[in-house]
Amino acid sequence: MSDKKISLVPVDSENWREVATLEVHEDQAEFVASGSYYLCLCTYDNLWHPLAILLEDEVIGFMMWAVDEDDGSCWLGGITIDKEYQGKGYGRRAVKGALQMLNREKGYTDFALSYNSENKGARHLYSSMGFEEHDEMEDDEIVARLVIN
């Protein structure tokens, strides 16, 4: 694993273009939307907060977060690592960093995310991080939840 620093920063006028051009491998394209779609969702849906994932100073990924007003859980979504940087632990480090940041800065302890049941990579990653499935669905995706202290 690389010892280069992974950080999460708000998407802004300086980095949105890099987020918009992120690409995943062809076999993953059915599971994630484009960076442009996620940025539009964040801009116009007034729910999601966009974060660029940086490796040192380079944008290598994206994720967004929102709070479910019904139960107060903090959702992570749109988690994308550019195809050139996948398989190196950066996605795991980014999710872990987001959990820590959102807990420390916002006080969230209940987290949720969702994924397509066919997305074996995502299912394995999130399960290995402690996210648990409880027969809950969001649209056509499986919901997994994690509570941290």
Neighbour order of strands in the sheet with 58-67? 6-10, 49-55, 58-67, 74-81, 110-115, 141-147, 132-138
Q: Is the pTM of this model over 0.85?
A: yes
Beta strand segments in the chain, E: 6-10, 49-55, 58-67, 74-81, 110-115, 132-138, 141-147
The pLDDT assigned to 1 comes to 54
Q: Indicate the residue type of 122.
A: A
The pLDDT assigned to 89 comes to 95
pLDDT band at 27 (very low <50, low <70, confident <90, very high): confident
Q: What is the CATH number of domain 6-147?
A: 3.40.630.30
- For 54, the token pair is 């940086």
Q: Count CA within 13 A, CB hemisphere, residue 55.
A: 18
pLDDT tens for 90-108 read: 999 999 999 999 999 999 9
The pLDDT assigned to 28 comes to 87
d(CA 66, CA 46): 10
pLDDT band at 15 (very low <50, low <70, confident <90, very high): very high
